Amino acid sequence: MTAMVKAEGVHKSFGAVQVLKGIDLEVAPREVFCLIGPSGSGKSTFLRCINHLEKINSGRLYVDGELVGYRQKGDKLYELKDREVAAKRRDIGMVFQRFNLFPHMTAVENVMEAPVQVKGESKAVARERALKLLDRVGLSDKAGNYPSQLSGGQQQRVAIARALAMEPKLMLFDEPTSALDPELVGDVLDVMRGLAEDGTTMVALTHAMGFAREVGDSVVFMDDGVVVESGHPREVLTNPRHERTKSFLSKVL
Amino acid sequence: MTVEIDKAGPKDAPPPRAPETIKAIPVRHYGRWVAAVVVIALLASLVYAFSQGKVNWGAIPDYFFNDEILKGVGKTVWITIAAMALGVVLGVILAVMRLSKNPVTAAIAWGYIWFFRGTPVYVQLLLWFNLGLIFDYINLGPIYQDEWSDFMTPFLAALLGLGLNEAAYMAEICRAGIQAVDEGQTEAAHALGMSHAKTLRRVVLPQAMRVIVPPTGNEFINMLKTTSLVIAVQYWDLLQAAQEIGQNSGAPAEMLFLAAAWYLILTSVLSVGQFYLERYYARGSSRSLPKTPFQRIRANLFSFSNRSAGGVGTS
């Protein structure tokens, strides 16, 4: 079975600063893969590399068996055209820490936007599907509201519905609950739990250790641009082997 | 819900007593009274001065709807719209050029803005008008050939002088608007698989408009007033009409009052239009209600000539 995401020695630097120092990992299809680690550990950068919002400097990164951002012919790499990069991103949903909903569109318009504009779906079909997705995230009554009229938790659930509207084979979550008030976190995690149960492949950066423990199939602890420890959530979160993992967990748990 | 609660409450319980309203002596702002009296006195003396002046007030209503004046108003509005249209279209193109990753187009856009924003619009108008001293003919190959004096009419000189100058300002306004849109918006659109062009058109520009529209409204109002400079290229407008009538009827100052009144009416109308445009582009983003048209006109009347930017010498 092809891995959904496969990283081999992925390096990334911003100028002189090395952010990723050789990441090797694999995410299987239908797996819920949780990335944890302190801020500045490079986990967010790694996530953004997966859909080519950032270019990696060395190593290889594959999504569903295909190289991210490049085409290989013989031993030469060719950069993909913008259009080809965009085409690949359609299959990867992304949810951001700051939601990034389009503020000039209502909730349902946000969800419809990509299917209509990118896939060329008819508005009627897209709207119907969008309403179903909003219902799935528990917001069927907020379809006509603008993002500024929604709470953070509601906005994030619309953002998840927006990503799902493209029927992605992989979902990326960039600390989806970090910008939320504590009492709103649960709603968003419930939606993510539902996705996991439906077999969606997910890579989630999260500080919600409870979610990682209950829903995650594997957990990777990153620090300072390297993978320190990985394994089943029960092992990593309850019996960490490395000192750095232990000290990090003692602070967040 | 509230009905339920009311029913549940004890029926014969006395209604809760409202806490006593505070009755305190308000702070007296004597300074405000003094300031108001001083300002009113100054205003009254100004009105008195004008009432003593030899102003033939009757001449203003007599000529207010004079055919020549109305024709001048039409010409002024026409050149304003034409020059603004040229400025906006060229401005958007220049803004996109300046933000593009192509260093050549970016540098050329920069140079254009540098020149047209850095020289007075009056000088630019005179330059267009006097290009005939350098060129005898215009020769665009098979497309167009003519004698320069036939080609560069007063209208074309006014259009180019005002419009090309305006484009430099509009370019900066558009650039600021595009750059004001949060980068997360572009990322979200890209993550959904949208192309650069779609992202710009569907996500970035609609949000940039909120930043672009208010200063563009100002530019429009300002352009209307700047058109009074087109006398430099012998374009015949409202001010020209008023001055001609003034000289023939022996009431030159009165006709300038009349022209000023017409300019005020036109800028006020534009302000109302600006209000509705702004409210349209504010949808989904503003929680507080925008000002009413009345408040806006009033604000504009009071800040009528406070623009002093770059190339505009007289406002």
Encode pLDDT of A70-107 as tens digits. Answer: 999 988 999 999 999 999 999 999 999 999 999 999 99
Tell me the HSE value of B30 on the side-chain side, using a 13 A CA sphere: 0
Q: What is the pLDDT of residue B7?
A: 47
- B100 contacts chain A (CB < 8 A): no
Q: With CB atoms and an 8 Å threshold, state whether B184 touches A90.
A: no
SS3 A221: strand
Residue B214 contacts A, CB cutoff 8 Å: no
| pLDDT higher than threshold 50 for residue B8 | no
Residues of B in contact with A93 (CB under 8 A): 191
Buried b (16+ CB within 10 A) or exposed e, A158-194: bbbbbbbbbebebbbbbbbbeebeeebbbbbbebbee
| pLDDT exceeds cutoff 60 at B1 | no
What's the pTM?
0.76
pLDDT at position B295, please? 65
Most A CBs within 10 Å, among B192, B212, B281, to test the A interface: B192
Taking only the tens place, the pLDDT of each residue in B10-67 is 556 666 677 888 888 888 889 999 999 999 999 999 999 988 888 888 888 989 999 9
The overall average pLDDT reported for chain B is: 86
- Going from the N-terminus, what domains does chain B have, and what CATH number goes with each? 58-282 (1.10.3720.10)
Cβ separation A53–B193 shorter than 8 A: no
Instruction: Give me the pLDDT at residue B308, please.
Output: 43
The interface predicted TM-score (ipTM) is: 0.93
pLDDT score for B149: 81
pLDDT at B221 over 80: yes
Residue B198, chain A, CB below 8 Å: the answer is yes
The whole-number average pLDDT for the span A54-62 is 94
CA separation for the pair B51, B49 (Å, rounded): 5
- Tell me what pLDDT residue B58 has: 85
pLDDT of residue B315: 38
Q: What is the mean pLDDT of residues A28-36?
A: 95
Query: Is the pLDDT reported for residue B310 higher than 60?
Result: no
Least confident of A93-107, B95-109, B127-141: B127-141
Give contacts of A104 with chain B, Cβ < 8 Å: 206-207, 283-285
Greater confidence (B160 vs B18) lies with B160
Residue A129 has pLDDT above 60, yes or no: yes
Element (H, E) at A25: strand A17-27
pLDDT, average across residues A130-149: 94
What percent of chain A has a predicted confidence (pLDDT) above 90? 88
Task: Yes or no: say if A25 and A227 are a contact pair by the CB < 8 Å rule.
Answer: yes
Query: What is the arithmetic mean of pLDDT over B80-90?
Result: 96
Say if the Cβ atoms of B190 and A106 lie within 8 Å: no
